[in-house]
Amino acid sequence: MIKRYLELGPIVGTHGVRGEMKHDYWCASPEFVQPLKADFLDPEGNRSVDVLSARPHKKQVLLILKGVDSVEKAEALRDTVLYIRREDAGLKDGAWFIAELIGCTAYDADDPEKVWGVITDVYNTGANDIWVIRTPDGRDVHIPAIKDVVLGADVAENKAVIRPLKGLFDDAH
């Protein structure tokens, strides 16, 4: 399902005493966060905040937000999840965010009537992403999100098309 506002990740702490914050990003790299000029403090986009600075720091991004100029103000935002407008992400046509993939129904590439289940989670092993698909009987099956298995997804249609490797769903159906 296409979402207008997407989770960028939480503020997890402060850095220094002038309001700089540690941000755990839920995207591919800190470079994705750096050019963003506005974030939102809620999933509806009602509370916007200007990003004055964003820079990589270890496995996080250090942020300075307009109006947050003390450690106390920064600490008050701890655990706040930041959001971005989807259109600000610069995604190519046909691309999606993991948050949009969650909830999509996985259909069989060779039999479009066959439903394998619903995508409930995505995680990364280092080599590739793994999709967790909950089967109609409630079992979770983990499939590699590689080009031989995942043939495509249309988050606007809430649909993914897969060709599972032999044996992945044997106990599920």
Instruction: Name the band, by pLDDT with cuts 50, 70 and 90, for residue 173.
Output: very low
Q: Say if residue 121 is in the same domain as residue 85.
A: no
Looking at residue 93, its pLDDT comes to 76
Looking at residue 59, its pLDDT comes to 84
Of the three residues 89, 113, 144, the one that is the final residue of a domain is 89
pLDDT at 96 over 90: no
User: What confidence tens digit (pLDDT) does each residue in 33-88 have?
Assistant: 666 777 888 989 999 999 898 888 888 899 999 999 999 999 999 999 999 888 88
State which residues form the domain around 50: 5-89
Distance from C-alpha of 116 to C-alpha of 41, rounded to nearest angstrom:
36
Instruction: Name the band, by pLDDT with cuts 50, 70 and 90, for residue 154.
Output: very high
Q: Say if residue 80 is in the same domain as residue 10.
A: yes
3-state secondary structure of 1: coil
Of residues 87 and 94, the one with the higher pLDDT is: 87
Q: Say if residue 52 is in the same domain as residue 73.
A: yes
CATH number of domain containing 34 = 2.40.30.60
| Number of domain units in the chain | 2
Of the three residues 30, 55, 89, the one that is the final residue of a domain is 89
Which of 75-79, 102-106, 115-119, 168-172 comes out lowest in average pLDDT?
A: 168-172
**Contact yes or no for 70/85 (Cβ under 8 A):** no
Q: What is the mean pLDDT of residues 11-31?
A: 86
